[in-house]
Structure formats: C-alpha cells, structure tokens
Structure 1
Amino acid sequence: MVSRIDRRQVADTALRLLNVVGLDGLTLRRIAKELDVQAPALYWHFRNKQELLDEMATEMFRRMIGPLTAKYRSGAGQVRETWQEMTVATCSTLREELLGYRDGAKVISGTRMTDDSFAAPLELFMSRFVAAGFALPEAARAWWTAYNFTIGVVIEEQSVYPDPAAPQVRDPAYDFADRERRLAADYPLAAMAGRQMFGDFEEMFHAGLRIVIAGIEANRSTEAGS
C-alpha cells in the first residue's frame, strides 16, 4: 500500500491548522479531514500525535534556519558581531519565528528532531562561542541557557496573547485589574508585579536576555579563574 500523502504534506497541513485550532484542538482526525483522507492514512506516516509533533517541530526548525543564520552565512571570520550580539540577535529571531505559530513554543519544546537540520546552525553558534574564547562545554551551556530562556518566555507570551493573527489581543483570563483587586490588600507587591511580568513581553524578553548574558559572562570568568 502506498499513501497518496507524505510526511511533509501532513506536517505542513498540521502547522496551518495549528494557527486555527491551537495545540489542544489539533487532532489526527482533524488533519485527515483537511487532507480529505481517512484518519488511518495518517498512521502510515505517524503512529501517534507525538510523532507528528516531532515532525512539525522539525519542519518549523527547517523554516527558521534561514532567518536564524542569515547574518553568518558569509563565514564566522567575516562577521564582526560579538558573541553577546549574536546571542541577542539569534534569540530575538527565534522568538519572532515561534510567535508566528499558535502554541509554537509548546510544539517545539520537548520534541525530538526527525532529521539533522539542527546540526548546521548549532555548529555555527558553537564555532562563534569557541572563536570568542569559550571552551566547548561553556559554549554549549551558554547556548542551551539562552535557547531555553527564549522558549520559556514564548510559552508564557503565547498563553497571554494566543492568536498570532491578533498579537495585541490578550486572553480575557489575564485580567490585570481583577488580579490587582484580589491581591492588593494582602499581597501588594505580588499585585503590582503582574503587569510587569505579563504586560510588555518585548521589554521583559530583552531585559531577561541581558540578565542571561550577564550570567554567562560571570560564570565564564569564574570558571576561567579571572
């Protein structure tokens, strides 16, 4: 038996539907209906939803590779950015790309790549850190920390602003005024912190990234004994 659909087609359709129904609403049955096939046809390619999510995450990453590495294609020796500037630029691009998919950060978090498309950009980022004087273990920890910080921020951001087609529309569940009224009497600092933490994600992301970079710098100097 040969399927008339392939893995890439299923993943493309799933990513398109993701922006309509979100991760919780995305089912193999819904994808099959969109492709005008019976649900069992999808099991020819994916045994379960997790395998599909792995392929979706891999396809998302394939699409991100160009934007993530555009500045560095000319070779590390020809790029004058510091490792700090590279980290900010790359993490900012990662965030922007993930925000283009509803629940995009949740999809990519905890999934396993189905091919080696991640290896080339990772090699590039590691080479930039190593060229800046990092030992490889330090370089790996630096990128791992910055990457996971970015994923975590986007998960939170997409819970507050879930629709990529309406990025300024906040989920009604995040009612700052109601939260402040409930907490103000007993927990005044917690009440005031809400707007800061969940209001301007752009500001909070870049402020947090500066903290991450400062931490990388401090930990590196400690390990180097300087």
Structure 2
Amino acid sequence: MATTRIDRALVADTALRLLNEVGLDGLSLRAIAKELKVQAPALYWHFKNKQALLDEMATVMYRRLAQEHDGVPGARPDAPWQELLAGFNRSLRTMLLSYRDGAKVYGGARFTGTDHARPMEVLLTEMGAAGFAPADAVLAGTTAYAYTMGFVAEEQGMGDEPFDVGARAVRLADFPLAAAAGPGLFEDYDERFEAGLRMVIAGAEALYAGGAPGADAP
C-alpha cells in the first residue's frame, strides 16, 4: 500500500464519507484503512477502538453543524429559550438525517471537543433567566434531545421504502383504532416531529418555567 500521512481529522472525515456508502454495520477500521491506503494498525495510533472513532465522528458531525449556524444551531443566540431549544433539535434532526445511520453514530457518543459547550451555556442561561432551576433546565434539554434522537432513530430505521399503511390497516381490521393510527405512525414525519417537539417544550414550560414546581412536587 502507498504511504499516506494520516491524522485524527482525516480518519474521521474518511469514516463519515464511508458511512454514507456502507452504513454503520459496514464501517470498520479495516475498511477505513483500505480507503486511506494504509495498514489497519496505523489507525490505532489515533483511535484505540471503533467506539473511540465513533466519538470523534460525532464530534465532527456536531462541529460541522455548529459552524453552519455560527456556533448556536437553529436560532439566534439572543432568542428565547423555547426558540433555542426547538431550533437546536430541528437542526440536530436535519444533521442526523444527512448521514446514513446518523442517529446510531451520534447516540451515546462522548464528544472529544468543546464545540457543544457554548450553545449549551447559552440555552441554560436563557432557561435560568426564565425561572428554571439548573437541574430542571438540564432535564428539559435532555428530554427534548432524547425525543429527537429516538424519533430520528425510528425514522432512519424505517429505511427508504414507504410503509404500506393500507396493507397494515387490512391486517389490523379487527382492531379499528390501531388500524386507523397508521398514518400517525408511519407518515408525515416532518409534521409529527414538529408536533412532538412542541409538546415536549410546552410540557417543560408548564412544569418548570417561572419557578413552577416540578412534576413530583406536592
């Protein structure tokens, strides 16, 4: 093989490019090494295992997202917390969908940089000004994030072929309510995502904004 000078950035960029071609299951250090025309052991100088590589890939994914939005994805830095939280999660979904298996790569990763810290600081500051206790602000933010990650994981898991809602309704003819739920489960992903996101944010506002008591308060 030819000798290629590699570093962490080159490996992560190559991995993200290959991800769209082979998916997460097909992505391996060996495949990346072949693409870079180096021996696989050369990559272990930079990443001790595949999870370490996934952490770096997720960091690069977020860094690109932040750069596209001047550091605060989805909203202007002085926006109200509701806009910040909604804008971030919209941008996150768009970013994840731009990569094959994006949610699988991003979920559970540990960032290797600090690019995420500024928008988090901005959001938590705005939420604090709106009356959120620090722990409640974190809970609201992570709940919205978990909603987005789960939604995209399900969305990407359905694949590119549209789901046959009509055939499903026939199979479930003895369960009319379940049959009628098909469009709400397998169609209009954009509209459903927005509706669910509004629900999460409205719930957080009702429970915690303005110093309101938490759900477990008497």
For Structure 1 versus Structure 2, the TM-score category normalised by the shorter chain is: 0.7 to 0.9
Amino-acid identity (%): 55
Q: In the alignment, which residue of structure 2 is the partner of 1:156?
A: 154
The amino acid across from 2:188 in the alignment is: D
| 1:115 to 1:82, Cα distance in 2 relative to 1, 3 A | closer
SS in structure 2 opposite 1:4? coil
Query: Do the aligned partners of 2:140 and 2:204 also contact (CA within 8 Å) in 1?
Result: yes
Question: Shift in Å at residue 194 of structure 1?
Answer: 2.4
Q: Which residue of 98, 101, 114 maps to 2:99?
A: 101
Q: Deviations over 1:8-67 (max 9, x none)?
A: 100000001111111111111111111111111112211211111111111111111132
Q: In the alignment, which residue of structure 2 is the partner of 1:180?
A: 169
Q: How many residues align?
A: 208
Q: In the alignment, which residue of structure 2 is the partner of 1:27?
A: 28
Q: Structure 2: how far apart are the matches of 1:107 and 1:22?
A: 10
**Gaps spanning 5+ residues in structure 2: where?**
none
SS in structure 1 opposite 2:21? helix
The amino acid across from 1:146 in the alignment is: A
Residue correspondence of structure 1 range 89-168 to structure 2 within 5 A:
89-160=87-158, 162=159
Q: Structure 1: how far apart are the matches of 2:93 and 2:117?
A: 19
Q: CA RMSD of the aligned region, Å?
A: 2.1
Q: TM-score, structure 2 length as denominator?
A: 0.87
Q: Structure 1: how far apart are the matches of 2:14 and 2:177?
A: 45
Q: Deviations over 1:117-165 (max 9, x none)?
A: 22122111111111222221121111111111111111111112x4xxx
Question: Shift in Å at residue 195 of structure 1?
Answer: 2.2
Question: Shift in Å at residue 103 of structure 1?
Answer: 1.0
Question: Shift in Å at residue 182 of structure 1?
Answer: 1.9
Q: In the alignment, which residue of structure 2 is the partner of 1:87?
A: 85
Question: Shift in Å at residue 89 of structure 1?
Answer: 1.7
Question: Shift in Å at residue 90 of structure 1?
Answer: 1.7
Query: Do the aligned partners of 2:81 and 2:127 also contact (CA within 8 Å) in 1?
Result: yes
